[in-house]
């Protein structure tokens, strides 16, 4: 009636959405959009998912589209890769990426290399997704970050979301991509609400794979991170801002292919760099960023050596106080920034 009277309707405002609900929306929209898309994994159907990411999808789409599997990662990952080779679009959920080591041969030797080894005649449009990195109190065998592991492998695309918009946009883009994509989520972010813009509420909202986002503008130092550590960087930037230090915070979003251009452009402005990640230091994401910077033109703009803030180089302890000291905290980022700026 308002439209008939020529009145302008107000646009939907931004809303608060948890990462869990954003992932659920993305799966629902893509299952509805393309009948070739299906979800499989342990407890994804009748139980609604171990982390309730697939809540309601089995009842809506049925047994052929949302499939509970036995506890056999090598088996159901292989089934998913085979399905992708005949141009279905499986979403293969690992209850945690620690269990993906049971299926790593399927992910790397089958999915990642098939297109190259077939001279481009076989595509593998598959998404491997699930929680990655440290959770809370789950000790060494369940607390590893696989960003560097899978980011090392040509043939894969690797994404690592932070916010609800990241989660929804990257998952939809990954499902639509014709290449195998590894999506590394954070269990500790599933219940965290983030603001979701009007644009992100659209069913056609996707985030380009391979493009980082500047979450906060700054002039004194560049902080580069991914996944949950982006939030720590934002908190550290707020603390440092009160002391007159303005940090530019870059959310990588994608590990492979890495958007080093956005990092270099920021460095040209700030002349300082700190990388932050929850994974181990040796051969890590931060190590790759620093190497790329060293080899590129932005190195000439550095006024001080770049520094990495990483997880401790030990298996994750079970005790909470030790766990907290193994994961980068806001105070560690603040300390690193002050060290680089010599303040």
Query: What residues act catalytically?
Result: 73, 142
Three-state secondary-structure class, residue 181:
strand
Of 94, 87, 113, nearest to 53 by C-alpha is: 94
Residue 209: enclosing H or E segment and its boundaries? none
Give dist(CA 173, CA 17) in Å, integer: 19
How far apart (Å, rounded) are the C-alpha atoms in residues 6 and 26? 34
Q: What distance in Å separates the CA atoms of residue 36 and residue 5, rounded to the nearest whole number? A: 43
**Cβ burial, residue 266 (10 Å; 0-12/13-18/19+):** buried
Q: Are 190 and 53 in contact (CB under 8 A)?
A: yes
* CA 32 distance to own-chain centroid: 23
Residues 6+ apart with CB under 8 A from 322: none
**What is the C-alpha separation between 3 and 238, in angstroms, rounded?**
44
CA distances from 169 to 6, 143, 190, 204, 253 (A): 34, 26, 15, 9, 10
Question: Residue 94 burial (CB < 10 Å; 0-12/13-18/19+)?
Answer: buried
* Short-list 246, 236, 256, 206, CA closest to 309: 236
Helix extents (H) in 152-271: 164-176, 229-241, 260-270
């Amino acid at each position: 009636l308002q439209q008939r009277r020529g009145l302008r309707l107000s646009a939907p405002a931004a809303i608060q959405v948890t990462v869990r609900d954003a992932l659920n929306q993305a799966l629902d929209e893509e299952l509805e959009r393309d009948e070739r898309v299906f979800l499989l994994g342990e407890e994804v159907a009748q139980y609604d998912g171990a982390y309730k990411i697939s809540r309601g999808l089995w009842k809506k789409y049925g047994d052929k589209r949302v499939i509970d599997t036995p506890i056999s990662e090598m088996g159901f990952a292989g089934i998913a890769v085979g399905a992708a080779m005949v141009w279905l679009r499986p979403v293969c959920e690992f209850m945690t990426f620690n269990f993906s080591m049971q299926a790593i041969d399927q992910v790397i030797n089958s999915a990642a290399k098939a297109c190259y080894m077939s001279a481009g005649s076989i595509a593998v449009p598959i998404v491997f997704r699930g929680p990655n990195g440290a959770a809370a109190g789950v000790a060494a065998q369940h607390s590893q970050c696989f960003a560097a592991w899978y980011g090392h492998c040509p043939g894969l695309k690797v994404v690592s979301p932070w916010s609800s918009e990241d989660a929804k946009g990257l998952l939809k883009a990954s499902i639509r991509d014709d290449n195998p994509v590894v999506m590394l989520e954070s269990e500790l972010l599933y219940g965290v609400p983030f603001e979701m813009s009007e644009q992100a509420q659209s069913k056609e909202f996707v985030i380009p794979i391979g493009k980082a986002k500047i979450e906060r503008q700054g002039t004194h130092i560049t902080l580069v991170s991914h996944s949950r550590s982006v939030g720590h960087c934002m908190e550290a930037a707020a603390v440092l801002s009160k002391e007159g230090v303005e940090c530019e915070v870059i959310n990588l979003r994608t590990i492979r292919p890495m958007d080093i251009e956005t990092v270099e452009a920021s460095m040209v402005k700030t002349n300082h760099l700190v990388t932050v990640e929850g994974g181990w230091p040796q051969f890590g994401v931060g190590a790759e960023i620093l190497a790329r910077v060293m080899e590129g033109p932005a190195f000439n703009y550095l006024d001080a050596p770049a520094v990495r803030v990483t997880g401790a180089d030990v298996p994750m302890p079970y005790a909470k106080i030790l766990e907290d000291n193994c994961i980068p905290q806001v105070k560690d980022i603040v300390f690193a920034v002050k060290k680089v700026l010599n303040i």
